[in-house]
Structure 1
Amino acid sequence: MPAGPPADDRTLRVLGTGDLAGLEISLADVVDVVEQAYRALADGTSANPRKLTVKPEDGHSVSYAMLGRDGVREVVAVKTSYKHGLDRSRDEQHYYTTLTLYDDVTGLPVALMDCGRVGSLRTPAVSALLARELAAPGSRSALVIGTGTQGRLALPFLLTTLPDLDRLMVYGTHPDGIAAVRERLRHHFPDREPEVVEDARAAAADADVVVATAGRHTPAAVEAADLKPGALSVLVGHGIAPSTLHEADRVIATSEAQMKVTGTDMAGADGGFPPVDAEFPQVLAGRAEGRRSAGERVFAYNSGLVVTDIALGHRFAQLAVAQGLGTRVPLWQ
């Protein structure tokens, strides 16, 4: 193992996409790291302030800034996210996201990293945890809407937390995306094959769990009336209509405040939202009820909290340091 940096080293380790791509971590480990981050937040040892948002009037781009502290790892971090070209096709869009980590014990920087892989793992892991805690008992079928970054690992993560799922459906409009969903599922579960559906609303009627990860231009718009009794709908991106929220028997959000910032397209005609019955960190910690009965239609909003990025990003930084990866930059020298 390469020698580590000096104890007082203030240089910044920069970890690019290529540095992080080869780091091995299992889906179960990702779920465990994310779950620990939520439990620490519920316990009050971590902090996750509301994110800041900047968006021009014409809506062609959106930017977020998120600050947080992981009380278990004693790490402070700032995440930034910038997406340009929201009025264009997916291939024409630009997206950049970074995570900067600082050790709150030593006061030294840990790393500046591309946060793309962290987000691509963290978000479907959260959806899988939501499904584990909120899906009706005996759930056997799942529908994933969207085949982009978040959709491609949704089914493998769902099988990690709900191994009894025996019908795996996917709806998408991009052949390359559908091929990627198939490849990712076979990679993690070689004996499983997704069922590609052409009508998302019809498929939703047969799904115990619906995870909507599609981009804003998706033609899919599953309505509350399309869902079977007891269904869980999880919103990550787009693909389900506002009625699934407003007509739900129970509403769970990773953060109610963030839902009102990033979920404005789900607002009612008056611009309002129904009250959130419980926030997910409290459900995980056993301090709030999730599902109350098998027949409830439950809506879950997965906005992604920066404490989960911090926890998973720090784990990747540890793996990268152990392998001597990254470029050290004397930014403050």
Structure 2
Amino acid sequence: MPTPELHILTRSELAGLDISPQEVIGAVRAAYAAYAEGKSRNPAKLMMPVPAGRDAVSYAMLGFDGALEYVGFKTSYRQGTDNPDKYYTTISLYDDTTGLPYVFMDCHRVGGSRTPATTALIAEECARPGARSALLIGTGRQSLNTLPYLVTRMPQLEKLRFFGTHPEGITATAATFAQYFPDRKLEQIGDVPSAVAESDIVIAASGRAAHPPVRTSWLPPGGLLISVSSKGVDSSALAEADYALATSESQLGVTGSRFDSEDGAAVLDAEFPDVVAGRKPGRRSGDDRVFAFSSGMVITDIPVAHALAAKAIDAGLGQKVQLWT
């Protein structure tokens, strides 16, 4: 029997790795397809607010990627909703074909890649035919790749705008987009309701938003509102939609309970993996105002983490630890 070894990879080691939007989006789409086919498992996210009145919350997710045949454990802890420096997230992967541990790594780069990949896929499947404009609301660390990934998947988009309030986030958002699409124009806006009314695709990824909470009813006919677990979306958004979907109905019940109707749980028309598999449509008609709730599923973290880990290990990065000796 081989001696179990765990590769440990740090945030700085992962930050310099080259992984293309196409590679990440392909891995995430394959993960949704495998889940829709019943090959993968993704129990609902476990969320626990820390007691004693502290402004802190912890998450845990467990899943099995049937395409790669890897089990993943992801944990996240944040102290202070507005403090990005006190947000820590990790993922561990185990090879189910050999029964051996593979890697323990920082998950910041993973989340910052698979989240915009999911957004791009939702937009591709659920936007109205002929969509030409998109608006990003929020310029946090998890939003930096949103517009580059979106345009990678939907190059026909012509009018690209964003809203942000933090100078560092605004600069980083513009710089990241220019890195991928130096010849494309990106416009910063200040009036969120007016911009929403003029956008085919609206991606709300803001935390405690410095803007009016976005409503689905603000969208033009055929508009799509994607909430990336955003606090900047009004609790009426799902109820106002002509068509509503979520990446996971069970996780909507954990992290999106504020969208519940007065007489019970939120009612969805589809789960996104079924849309990827072609079993459900992304919308019923071109005039539908569609609301999509995107909550991270660990089955999408696993293949992105695996791809990054493989690149890092091939480059000789990280440490090997034999915890079980």
Normalization by structure 1: what TM-score? Answer: 0.93
Q: Shift of the alpha carbon at 1:271? A: 7.4
> Which letter does structure 2 place at the counterpart of 1:311?
P
The equivalent residue for 1:295 is 287
Q: Does 1:18 align with 2:12?
A: yes
Determine if contact 2:3/2:322 at 8 Å carries over to the other structure: no
Call closer, same or farther: CA 1:49–1:134 in 2, change over 3 Å. Answer: same
Give the 5 Å matches for 1:233-272: 233-236=225-228, 237-268=230-261, 270=262, 272=264
Q: Does 1:69 align with 2:64?
A: yes
CA distance in 2, matches of 1:271, 1:238: 22
| Structure 1: 5+ residue stretches without partners | 1-6
- Which of these residues, 140, 148, 152, is aligned with residue 144 of structure 2? 152
CA distance in 2, matches of 1:94, 1:103: 30
> Which letter does structure 1 place at the counterpart of 2:28?
V
Determine if contact 2:50/2:58 at 8 Å carries over to the other structure: no
CA distance in 1, matches of 2:68, 2:100: 14
> Which letter does structure 2 place at the counterpart of 1:264?
S
Q: Shift of the alpha carbon at 1:59? A: 6.1
Q: Deviations over 1:251-282 (max 9, x none)?
A: 110001101101133344x3744311110001
More deviation in 44-53 or 236-245?
236-245
Give the 5 Å matches for 1:195-214: 195-214=187-206
The equivalent residue for 1:85 is 80
Determine if contact 2:43/2:61 at 8 Å carries over to the other structure: yes
> Which letter does structure 2 place at the counterpart of 1:280?
F
Q: Shift of the alpha carbon at 1:151? A: 2.0
The equivalent residue for 1:332 is 324
> Which letter does structure 2 place at the counterpart of 1:263?
G
CA distance in 2, matches of 1:17, 1:271: 44
Q: Deviations over 1:50-74 (max 9, x none)?
A: 1111113546111111110111111
- Which of these residues, 139, 142, 161, is aligned with residue 169 of structure 1? 161
The equivalent residue for 1:138 is 130
Q: Does 1:37 align with 2:31?
A: yes
CA distance in 2, matches of 1:222, 1:202: 11
The equivalent residue for 2:170 is 178
Q: Shift of the alpha carbon at 1:238? A: 2.8
Normalization by structure 2: what TM-score? Answer: 0.96
Determine if contact 1:101/1:110 at 8 Å carries over to the other structure: yes
The equivalent residue for 1:304 is 296
Q: Does 1:232 align with 2:224?
A: yes
Determine if contact 1:185/1:193 at 8 Å carries over to the other structure: no
Call closer, same or farther: CA 1:231–1:273 in 2, change over 3 Å. Answer: farther
Q: Does 1:121 align with 2:113?
A: yes
SS in 2 for 1:225: helix
Call closer, same or farther: CA 1:275–1:10 in 2, change over 3 Å. Answer: same
Determine if contact 1:82/1:96 at 8 Å carries over to the other structure: yes
Call closer, same or farther: CA 1:59–1:208 in 2, change over 3 Å. Answer: farther
CA distance in 2, matches of 1:292, 1:316: 37
SS in 2 for 1:38: helix
CA distance in 2, matches of 1:275, 1:150: 28
Q: Deviations over 1:64-120 (max 9, x none)?
A: 11110111111111000111112xx335x5101000001111111110000000000
CA distance in 1, matches of 2:12, 2:3: 24
Q: Shift of the alpha carbon at 1:217? A: 4.1
The equivalent residue for 1:4 is none
Q: Deviations over 1:122-151 (max 9, x none)?
A: 001100000000000000000000000122
The equivalent residue for 2:48 is 54
CA distance in 1, matches of 2:269, 2:167: 38
CA distance in 2, matches of 1:144, 1:220: 14
Call closer, same or farther: CA 1:55–1:30 in 2, change over 3 Å. Answer: same
CA distance in 1, matches of 2:181, 2:226: 22
